[in-house]
Amino acid sequence: MAQVLEFKLPDLGEGLTEAEIVRWLVEIGDVVAIDQPVVEVETAKAMVEVPCPYGGVVTARFGEEGTELPVGAPLITVAVGERAPSGGGAEEAGSESSGNVLVGYGTSEAPARRRRVRQEPVAGAAPTTAVNGRAGVPEAEDGPLPVISPLVRRLARQNGLDLRELTGSGPDGLILRADVEYALRAAPRPAATEAPAPRAAATAAPGEIRTPLKGMRGAVADKLSRSRREIPDATCWVDADATELMRARTAMNTAGGPKISLLALLARICTAALARFPELNSTVDAQAREVVRFDHVHLGFAAQTDRGLVVPVVRDAHARDAESLSAEFARLTEAGRTGTLTPGELTGGTFTLNNYGVFGVDGSTPIINHPEAAMLGVGRIVPKPWVHEGELAVRQVVQLSLTFDHRVCDGGTAGGFLRYVADCVEQPAVLLRTL
């Protein structure tokens, strides 16, 4: 007899606690193989195909397209242990599963430690969420509050809920959005004189168009708000003559070989500047009241896509030459446009480069990509009057701006970094010898 196994939305990593169903890849009654993708979901960071660790026949699906599910919620049930009636090549799944979590994040040979079973919450004294009527009791652990998602914290804060009173239903007692929502449903209803429900639940008034802040747009909104709320930032800027940098790039690209992008040259300048001013390649541990400085540069760069703003990260940018940087920028930009960036490619940055000049603007005051300590903004490069060698001339001028966390350094360090970047833009010959 077949055994019906329930496959739940897995932990997608990097602190992601929920995802929206974009497209089902299987129907009820379909035969699926181990590690076959069954649903495409959109997290706050990327589009992801989720593979099922069981082989068998799909007996149920949970959630329509467009539904947002928390980690640990049921996705599908699969009858395993018998072949499909047609015998058309379906594997006999037995009681084994692959342990796979995401496409490309493992194989059918994944170690058993990845096949962890999520505890289901208790519907009772503890304010957690029960799934399909079955529940288990996750044990609370001492230590920091087990909440990762800022969305969960905000929901609790808006409704006056103390998260320390909750028992999380996620892995290792992690408090999920579903736990907070269950606690709010179980709490006594507020009197009519109390504060009204959050505006998010309101209906649009005449002349209004309301768009939910969720998915990538919501994640961007939360991150920018957190940056402004937690980081005491300051901005400095300077105009620079980029004529020689543009000539150098032209010369490099006419010499044959792979084309070098302007962004790659700016990134190479950034990594050289960070080597001289490492205070800006850091983050602040507010709880420990410490500045954490990194010995590597994972360089994020802002990229606008049809799905919104993303900041892919070039790992170990300090160890790459201009050719390698150009290739990696191109690869990550294309992945951003197609929605195939992985969570790992969107996190872990230590410094961000923002070329907003592509939008045809000269300057901006960038918002720091929390929890980093600085961001360099680059405006458009355009012909402008400029005093060159004592004479008024038309030169290719660019405005550079640096927003920095004033906790990690003072203005002298930030000004020194920006001045070094501007000097390299104006006289790139010495730097370009190392590319």
pLDDT band per the 50, 70, 90 thresholds, residue 96: very low
Whether 406 is catalytic: yes
At 325, the pLDDT band (50, 70, 90 cuts) reads very high
Return the pLDDT at 66: 83
- Give the pLDDT confidence score for residue 136 in this predicted structure: 34
Cα separation values, 420 from 104, 160, 425, Å = 41, 48, 9
Mean pLDDT score of the chain: 79
Q: Of these residues, 296, 298, 388, 406, which one is catalytic? A: 406
CB 48 within 8 A of CB 12: yes
Q: What's the pLDDT tens digit per position in 232-262?
A: 999 999 999 999 999 999 999 998 889 999 9
Task: Specify the pTM.
Answer: 0.62
Q: pLDDT tens for residues 21-41?
A: 888 999 999 999 988 899 988
Instruction: Report the share of the chain in percent with pLDDT over 70.
Output: 76
CA distance 186 to 144: 25
Is residue 270 within 8 A of residue 376, CB to CB? The reply is: yes
| Closest C-alpha among 31, 49, 150 to residue 92 | 31
- Binned at pLDDT 50, 70 and 90, residue 403 comes out as very high
Task: Write down the pLDDT at residue 97.
Answer: 54
Which band of pLDDT confidence, cut at 50, 70 and 90, is reported for residue 14? low
Exposed e or buried b for every residue in 231-245, given b needs 16+ CB within 10 A? bebebbbeebbbbbb
Domains assigned to the chain: 3-107 (2.40.50.100), 121-198 (no CATH), 232-432 (3.30.559.10)
342 pLDDT exceeds 70?
yes
Least confident of 221-230, 253-262, 336-345: 336-345
Cβ neighbours of residue 173 closer than 8 Å, sequence gap 6 or more: 138, 139, 140, 141, 146, 167
Higher-pLDDT residue of 162, 286: 286
User: What is the share, in percent, of the chain residues with pLDDT greater than 90?
Assistant: 45
3-state helix, strand, coil in the chain (%, to 5): 30, 25, 45
The pLDDT of residue 315 is: 96
Q: Measured between alpha carbons, how far is 264 from 428 in angstroms, rounded to an integer?
A: 13
pLDDT tens for each residue of 106-134 = 333 333 333 333 333 433 333 333 333 33
pLDDT at 41: 86
